[in-house]
Structure 1
């Protein structure tokens, strides 16, 4: 079966069984989300950080302390994503296939909006999506734009990039702008050096994609931003998804579209 035709439950079953791939293009029409789970003492701090940086950190759902499912994700957050990243004392300590042993009773899981949600709308509007065309992970970059900090959380904005033909830039901005809860319109178009990106061929996360003649790189705020804040802030323990390897939720993309 084409992975685009899978239900969220079917995809989660495959990930639980060991399939390890980026999820762009999976489960057509179903919303994907970034995962960040932090100790309970930081839950309100992270909520405040998200409130102050809503385009990068749109909160779609929050679980109870110790819970491994949420209202919008009926699977197991410890096993049903295709990859995880473990953080200890402000460093990426390990990339893991599952995190059953690492999941703590005080962890609070947050599901953050993902720009994969509007990619089908881009395609329907005639806007190409290069990483889908080439079967790669979306390229993501750490910028030199600081997020609005809180008492103990601070860090840089992370962005995802999609190259768009120059005559379709306005359409891409308009279409993605209809999805404000999953990052919305781009935060930057054009020159990557203007936001501190030195080399598009060397993303901080994900895979590089070709930017062809006549195309403009468009940059969207990215839900990996909370993981960058965990790193920058020296958080003692956290669990995130492996960038591009998302939580596939039990809610449809159109739920996050505004007209």
Structure 2
């Protein structure tokens, strides 16, 4: 059996166009992050939105200055213009296209934000013997829009997006205990059980990602999701911004252990 890819090796593959899909299950032990890239005159309000809503938008890192595509803290070779498997390009809150490289779109006024991802705590769940259904079925994690309202900040407001993983009740309790140790990557779940209670009409039809099997006796467990900033961007309608495609994360050199609270 081959050794897992290192984050640098995976980023190299992404750069070369050899990996353009979701990153769940890749590079165990290392932090993965959601991406939001905004013009400078929108960046402060977005930063405030993240501070007001730390569960769906836990900030892991950001560029030190506008126009800087490198964030050395997450990888010495890191370049936001090429190291995401798939990007989404937005204009006035409307999705325009998806692409695998944004060098041609880069501007000197753009500010990069990296936001914690629930893929980071999946490793801790697997280590405890819990099955992560999206990994075992080889698909992207299912994600849903909800009626849980985030706190607004300037022009940014949104309902929370959540990801879902099914567990038997006893395992769900253990999952909650484990995830509570990772507040920097969404922390404890925000809901479990009846999807309708948080505005989800059909658990088998996710708004993002892929449906997974929910077995007999299992309950869906919902965790705040880093796709929430995309919902805020759709509401705020900045003239231009770039995000990751759901499930297609930045894989950093930061160890997950750095984010755990003992």
User: Would you say same fold, with TM above 0.5?
Assistant: yes
Equivalent in the alignment of 2:246? 243
Structure 1: gaps of 5 or more residues: none
Q: Distance in 2 between matches of 1:229 and 1:104?
A: 22
Note the 1:8-87 alignment, pairs <5 A.
Answer: 8-18=7-17, 19-63=19-63, 64-70=65-71, 71-74=73-76, 75-87=78-90
Give the alignment of 1:54-203 within 5 angstroms.
Answer: 54-63=54-63, 64-70=65-71, 71-74=73-76, 75-203=78-206
**Contact 2:31 2:256 survives alignment (8 Å):** yes
Contact 1:73/1:248 (8 A) holds in 2 = no
Q: Deviations over 1:58-86 (max 9, x none)?
A: 00101021111112243111111110001
Name the CA distance, whole Å, in 2 between partners of 1:104 and 1:66: 6
1:160-218 deviations in whole A, cap 9, x for unaligned?
00001122111000001100010001000111111111111111111110111111100
Question: Which deviations, in whole Å up to 9, do the C-alpha atoms of 1:211-243 show, x marking residues without a partner?
Answer: 111111000001111111000111211100111
Normalised TM-score (structure 2): 0.96
Contact 1:86/1:238 (8 A) holds in 2:
yes
> CA offset at residue 251 of structure 1?
0.5
Q: TM-score, normalised by structure 1?
A: 0.97
Maintained 8 Å contact 2:149/2:158? yes
Corresponding residue SS for 2:162 = strand
Which stretches in structure 2 are left out of the alignment for 5+ residues? none
Structure 1 moving runs of 4+ over 6 Å: none
For residues 151 and 17 of structure 1, what CA distance do their matches in structure 2 show? 38
Cα drift, residue 104 of structure 1:
1.5
Q: Residues of 2 paired with 1:232 and 1:210: CA distance? A: 32
Confirm or deny: 8 A CA contact 1:173 1:185 kept in the other structure. yes
How many residues are treated as equivalent by the alignment? 258
Give the Cα–Cα distance (whole angstroms) in 2 for the partners of residues 12 and 45 of structure 1: 30
| Conservation of the 8 A alpha-carbon contact between 1:61 and 1:112 | yes
Coordinate RMSD, CA, aligned? 1.1
Q: State whether residues 35 and 112 of structure 1, in contact with CA within 8 Å, keep that contact through their aligned partners in structure 2.
A: yes
